[in-house]
């Protein structure tokens, strides 16, 4: 910390000391005054023969005046008066030896009065400063409250704006997705309706096939959106198991469509003993989503590298899936895992998607206590690397 910042803190703390003294409870103040009287009177008696002055009584007077202001002064003066009277009586009865006592007592009485008035006046000044400070603090707090309220409103407005933008994006994605199969379905049905009788059986069967395929496409899209909204609104709790990464990935690859997989050269670099804690269903879905993206966005006859690593010091295993596709532009890297986000170049392009796949991957990975992120130079055709991090199964 810089030395002037330290000095600032120290000054601030010093500034607060009198304030804490002002905030003593009534009982503690009374106790303090009583204690100071005990100290003062003891001092007086101890010092009496050699000095015979009442200077030790200044302490209780100062404290009484500081804590109880003019009421304290009045009480102190009455008490001092009584004490003076009693001592005088003792003196008259020959119990005390000093002859200059009366003069000393009167001087002491007047000095105490003067001192008390000054302390009361100081205390009044401090009180005023304190009240002014409290007013300033209250005004500052009010300003802070208003500022926070304004920030909350701005935040709520921004969230609303984002939700609206997401809704627009969703509608755009879905309507784009719907358009192609709907056009094919509508066109095929129209031809069958208008010319069905005149078409030869082979052409008619072909149009029928197109219509059925488009209907299946539509049904699949609706299913995807429904699945996605279900996952978004309610991710079930993960049920982690110890999973051997190599065996699991090999299993997932055999489940994917053979012609699609065959279109890529896949390199697996996964140590045999690499084990993670993961929910098999969740992990399978994440890998399916990542591979279905590769099939959609990465040109065929390219290489895909799948690597698994666990550094000695880490309790996590990282799985890297690197492709040689178009990559992710730098300015969109941080957005890609958000709901309904598709890269600008793919919105309105020929490849269909809802922008939910990676968002779902992120939710599932986090539900398993893991992470997903993407690394890409942002240069076209330098590919992307989707990285998964999952808790490792340790041998102990």
Alpha-carbon distance of 387 to 65, in angstroms, equals 73
Residue 384: burial class (beta carbons within 10 Å; 0-12, 13-18, 19+):
buried
Query: Is 285 one of the binding residues for ligand ADP (CB under 6 A)?
Result: no
Q: CB–CB of 378/370 below 8 Å? A: no
Least distance in angstroms from the C-beta of 341 to ligand ADP: 6
Q: Which of 36, 169, 318, 354 binds ligand ADP (CB under 6 A)?
A: 354
Closest among 267, 286, 271, 241 to 386, alpha carbons compared: 286
Query: Is 353 one of the binding residues for ligand ADP (CB under 6 A)?
Result: yes
Quick note: the x/- pattern for ligand ADP over 116-135, rule CB under 6 A, is --------------------
3-state helix, strand, coil in the chain (%, to 5): 65, 10, 25
Query: Is 293 one of the binding residues for ligand ADP (CB under 6 A)?
Result: yes
Binding window for ligand ADP (CB under 6 A); candidates: 1-9, 11-19, 189-197, 292-300: 292-300
Residue 298 or residue 392: which is nearer to ligand ADP going by CB?
298
Tokens representing residue 9 in the block: 């803190």
Residue 123 or residue 362: which is nearer to ligand ADP going by CB?
362
Q: CB–CB of 249/267 below 8 Å? A: no
Instruction: Concatenate the DSSP letters of all residues of 255-284 into one string.
Output: HS-HHHHHTSEEEEE--TT-EEEE-HHHHH
Binding window for ligand ADP (CB under 6 A); candidates: 131-139, 196-204, 306-314, 355-363: 355-363
Residue whose CB is nearest to ligand ADP in the complex, by number? 353
Q: Which of 287, 342, 363, 365 binds ligand ADP (CB under 6 A)?
A: 342
Query: Is 294 one of the binding residues for ligand ADP (CB under 6 A)?
Result: yes
Q: Which 3 state secondary structure label does DSSP give 125? A: helix
Query: Is 343 one of the binding residues for ligand ADP (CB under 6 A)?
Result: yes
Query: Is 286 one of the binding residues for ligand ADP (CB under 6 A)?
Result: no
Query: Is 358 one of the binding residues for ligand ADP (CB under 6 A)?
Result: yes
Closest among 224, 227, 242 to 368, alpha carbons compared: 242
**Rounded (10°) angle between helices 101-195 and 58-92:** 150
Query: Is 356 one of the binding residues for ligand ADP (CB under 6 A)?
Result: yes
Distance between the two ends of the chain, CA-based, in angstroms?
A: 43
Q: Which of 43, 240, 357, 370 binds ligand ADP (CB under 6 A)?
A: 357
Mention every residue, 6+ apart, whose C-beta is less than 8 A from residue 213.
181, 184
Residue 238 or residue 304: which is nearer to ligand ADP going by CB?
304
Sheet of strand 316-322, all strands in order from the earlier edge strand to the far edge:
265-269, 303-309, 316-322, 385-391, 371-375
Q: Look at the block and give the residue holding tokens 């009361």.
A: 120
Site for ligand ADP in 297-326 (CB under 6 A): 297-298, 323, 325-326
Binding window for ligand ADP (CB under 6 A); candidates: 20-28, 152-160, 208-216, 341-349: 341-349
Least distance in angstroms from the C-beta of 293 to ligand ADP: 3
> How many residues of this chain interact with ligand ADP, rule: CB under 6 A?
23
Residue 194 or residue 381: which is nearer to ligand ADP going by CB?
381
Residues in contact with ligand ADP by the rule CB under 6 A = 289, 293-294, 296-298, 323, 325-326, 328, 336, 341-343, 346, 353-359, 384
């Amino acid at each position: 910390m810089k030395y002037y910042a330290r000095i600032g803190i120290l000054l601030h703390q010093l500034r607060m000391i009198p304030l804490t003294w002002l905030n003593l409870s009534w009982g503690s103040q009374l106790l303090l005054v009583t204690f100071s009287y005990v100290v003062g009177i003891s001092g007086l008696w101890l010092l009496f023969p050699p000095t015979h002055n009442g200077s030790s009584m200044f302490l209780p007077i100062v404290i009484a005046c500081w804590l109880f202001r003019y009421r304290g002064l009045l009480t102190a003066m009455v008490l001092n008066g009584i004490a003076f009277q009693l001592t005088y009586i003792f003196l008259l009865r020959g119990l005390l030896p000093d002859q200059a006592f009366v003069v000393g007592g009167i001087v002491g009485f007047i000095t105490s009065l003067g001192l008390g008035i000054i302390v009361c006046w100081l205390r009044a000044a401090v009180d005023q400063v304190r009240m002014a400070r409290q007013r300033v603090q209250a005004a500052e707090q009010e300003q802070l409250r208003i500022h926070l309220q304004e920030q909350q409103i701005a935040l709520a407005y921004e969230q609303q704006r984002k939700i609206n933008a997401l809704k627009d994006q969703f509608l755009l994605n879905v309507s784009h997705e719907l358009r192609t199969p709907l056009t094919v379905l509508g066109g095929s049905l129209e031809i069958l309706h208008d010319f069905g009788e005149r078409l030869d059986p082979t052409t008619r069967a072909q149009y029928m096939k197109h219509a059925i395929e488009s209907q299946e496409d539509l049904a699949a899209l609706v299913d995807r959106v429904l699945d996605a909204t279900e996952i978004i609104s309610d991710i079930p709790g993960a049920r982690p198991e110890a999973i051997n990464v190599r065996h699991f990935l090999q299993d997932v690859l055999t489940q994917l469509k053979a012609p699609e997989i065959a279109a890529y050269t896949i390199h697996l670099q996964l140590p045999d003993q690499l084990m993670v804690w993961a929910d098999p269903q969740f992990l399978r879905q994440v890998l399916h989503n990542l591979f279905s993206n590769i099939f959609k966005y990465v040109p065929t006859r390219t290489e895909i590298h799948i690597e698994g690593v666990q550094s000695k010091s880490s309790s996590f295993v990282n799985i890297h899936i690197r492709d040689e596709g178009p990559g992710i532009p730098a300015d969109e890297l941080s957005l890609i895992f958000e709901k309904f986000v598709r890269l600008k170049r793919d919105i309105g392009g020929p490849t269909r998607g809802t922008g939910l796949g990676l968002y779902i991957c992120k939710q599932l990975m986090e539900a398993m206590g893991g992470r997903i992120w993407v690394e890409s130079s942002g240069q076209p055709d330098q590919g992307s690397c989707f990285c998964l991090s999952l808790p490792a199964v340790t041998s102990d």
